[in-house]
Amino acid sequence: MSDVQSFRGEALKALTDEIGVYALCDLDGVPIYVGQSVDGIRTRVRRHLTSARSDVIANRQVDVWEIAYVWAWPVREVTDIVRLEAHLFNTFDSCVRLMNGKAMAAPERPVDVPEKQIVQVIEEGERINRQDPALRLPRQIMQYNLLVDSILNVKDAGHLKRSLDAHFERLVRYHQTFL
Confidence (pLDDT) at 1: 60
Rounded to the nearest integer, the mean pLDDT of the chain is: 93
What's the pLDDT tens digit per position in 45-70?
A: 998 888 666 787 778 889 999 999 99
pLDDT confidence of residue 55: 80
In this prediction the pTM is 0.94
% of the chain surpassing 90 pLDDT: 79
In the CATH scheme, what architecture does the domain 3-178 have?
Answer: 3-Layer(aba) Sandwich (3.40)
Q: Give pLDDT tens digits for 154-169.
A: 999 999 999 999 999 9
Residue 23: φ, ψ to 5°: -125, 135
pLDDT at 41 over 70: yes
**Which pLDDT score is estimated for 57?**
78
